[in-house]
Amino acid sequence: MPISRTNSRLHSPPMTRIAERTVLFADLRGSTSLYETLGNAEATSVVTHTVSTIAKAVQPFGGTVIKTLGDGLMAVFDEPSQGIRAAQRMHEDLEQLINRQRDKHLPVGSRSLRLQVALARGEVVELGGDCFGDAVNVAARLLDHAGDNETLVTAEVIKGVGPSMQRKFRNLDWMHLRGRAEPVHVHVMGGRRGSDTMAPATQFGAVSPTLEPEAVRLIWLDHNEVYDGERMPAVLGRSPQAHFRVEDSRVSRSHARLDWHGGVFQLTDLSYNGTYVRFGTGDEVVSLRRSSCTLHGTGSIGLGGTPTDPTSPVVRFEVLSFTDTVPQDI
């Protein structure tokens, strides 16, 4: 029986396009302390709502949200000015959300969160709804250098806007970005670097600042590995090509991915059976179904089953906030 033209199109490979784009990464800072203060379920709800709020700033300026990344998002724009205006709107929308919660005397919520934004400009490869290329890598790495409620952009972004918009930026000179040999010329929008970034007080007390996480230790049976930002992304799965291999029938070949993004480690589910995270030794389990969460402290990751199920393949994790990576019992 001949294959219809409609069916043949369904199986055609995704179209690849190379284009000049402005890439934006936005990330919420302070979520780690929020998880520790509120608990995982409530903190996840707060972070998800806040990310959804800032994502609404993308489309009005002609941008497209490529993906959400646990505590943040990635978006692309045709023109640099569109990305800059979207970044401004994101900061404004977060501030308005915080003010509304403060006026209503709501506890904690988004009031403990701060926004970091980074933009880069260059040629990207668009494939299957995702984007790849040097501009994507630069924007992601530049985000690590952004302060609280700050927007950093590369010189290529500045060159694409008019004088009035250029005057909103200050020159920060050249920066060396992680994993990149050549330095990048960077500018900061408004504000000031090194400003007071004390965490706001809540009805539970102040949300304590935490040390910048430096690595994650993963342990399964006698397999003990430490992954820092230079080894990211790291895939957990059954495949021999997985960075951290877990041989169990319930584990997908590429089951979950560990990323370093915006100063935090994020775990993303890639599987059919789901990924489940338990923080500490509590009973609460965060279920990931093609979604992400931020890892903090210690806990366990169930691949294809919950960590509370004694038959599930469970990987223990520890987020390290120091350079000493000598194996410890967790």
Contact by Cβ (8 Å): 204, 108: yes
Between 1 and 272, the more confident residue is 272
Residue 327 Cα distances to 88, 217, 219, 251, 313, angstroms: 44, 8, 10, 25, 21
Question: What are the structural domain ranges in the chain?
Answer: 17-206, 215-320
The 10s digit of each residue's pLDDT in 189-235 is 874 333 333 333 322 233 344 456 689 999 999 999 999 877 878 89
Q: What is the mean pLDDT of residues 305-323?
A: 89
User: What is the SS3 assignment for 129?
Assistant: coil
Question: How many CB atoms within 10 Å of residue 22?
Answer: 29
User: What is the SS3 assignment for 225?
Assistant: strand
Contact by Cβ (8 Å): 295, 228: no
What single-letter amino acid sits at 97? Answer: L
Q: At 30, phi and psi to the nearest 5? A: 105, 0
Q: What is the mean pLDDT of residues 146-171?
A: 89
DSSP 290: S
The 10s digit of each residue's pLDDT in 20-57 is 999 999 998 877 777 777 777 788 888 888 999 999 99
Between 60 and 107, the more confident residue is 60
**CATH says 215-320 is which class?**
mainly beta
Question: How many CB atoms within 10 Å of residue 286?
Answer: 20
Q: Is the per-residue pLDDT at 96 higher than 80?
A: yes
| Tokens 């915080």 belong to residue | 98
User: What is the SS3 assignment for 308?
Assistant: coil
Q: Which tokens sit at 83? A: 């990305």
| Confidence (pLDDT) at 13 | 60
| CATH number listed for the domain at residues 17-206 | 3.30.70.1230
Q: Is the per-residue pLDDT at 326 higher than 70?
A: no
| Confidence (pLDDT) at 255 | 93
Q: What is the mean pLDDT of residues 303-315?
A: 94
| Tokens 């009035």 belong to residue | 164
Q: At what angle do helices 40-55 and 31-38 cross, to 10 degrees?
A: 140
Q: At 77, phi and psi to the nearest 5? A: -135, 150
| Confidence (pLDDT) at 97 | 87
What torsion do the CA atoms of 101, 105, 107, 112 make, to the nearest 10 degrees? 50
User: What is the SS3 assignment for 189?
Assistant: strand
Contact by Cβ (8 Å): 23, 131: yes
User: What is the SS3 assignment for 21?
Assistant: strand
Q: Which tokens sit at 279? A: 């923080």
Average pLDDT of every residue of the chain: 82
Q: What percent of the chain has pLDDT over 70?
A: 83
Q: Which tokens sit at 95? A: 């501030």
| Confidence (pLDDT) at 14 | 66
Contact by Cβ (8 Å): 268, 286: no
